[in-house]
Structure 1
């Protein structure tokens, strides 16, 4: 069973890494463009799966590949749901709350949200609680650093400014998704006990 769980994660990771690499061939057709967002609806998702450069792509894929192994209790279903739910939430947040953002590309906002959501859920498990708390502390420290000191080194590395608002929105939506997940889980357990 454990081997099957691991092989599912490896196949899932390979598919996501491959899809994101394919999108890199024509990134202009997939990035977040405010003016086209509501008429070219796929951009709600693909903007987060395409990157501004290959270095940007590799950095985000490395962080994404680590996620299932850092939190082995989470299933492929959880990761798939986060990859489908977080991108439109972040894109629509840009559109409605941050109208100055005209263009965006990258998985980092979704990564911040996924790490946050999964770490919040893992706070409920006694064995993983300390590690999940450390991960959340590191994410919040990174947000604080980016919003006070900045992220010039990362911007120089990827060849584009870092949109720290995406990271913040990812964390906010990650907490919200974790809360919904925990509430649904709590009430479904309570109903099944009756």
Structure 2
């Protein structure tokens, strides 16, 4: 992808996979880029927020898809203005295919960060932000590896720094491109 091209790059993976750090580094690589953090839209709900848990409720699912629609709409807006939109969120299972279909921007890219569950567990224990709530690392990793369609570029980042992961994404971005 030429450095000045507008595009949408989705970075996903389980919690503690490094999505925020990698997405920020990737956005900084391009001369005109925006880092769209999907979780911001979840945190904007001041009252009545329902977190997604393994026992999925209709309201939690509706709020998740509201967040997804808002993030893709914002990303499309940045892309229309000539920015590369790097979107980062936890988007797993069959939701990933539905999510990228929400994006009007072309080209679209998907990068799935997939460090091993032992690495995720270690990262979760050592970071200040705690994300798993009712989920376990094992359960979410299972959803990633068994229920998520193999779209785009999947990277085992277990033994990579964020900078190395960004560099690998830049070098292998054509592999992450989805059909138009």
- TM-score of the aligned structures, taking structure 2 as reference length: 0.28
Structure with higher Rg: it is: 1
Answer 1 or 2: higher relative contact order, Cα 8 Å, separation at least 6.
2
- Specify which structure has the higher proportion of helix: 1
- TM-score of the aligned structures, taking structure 1 as reference length: 0.27
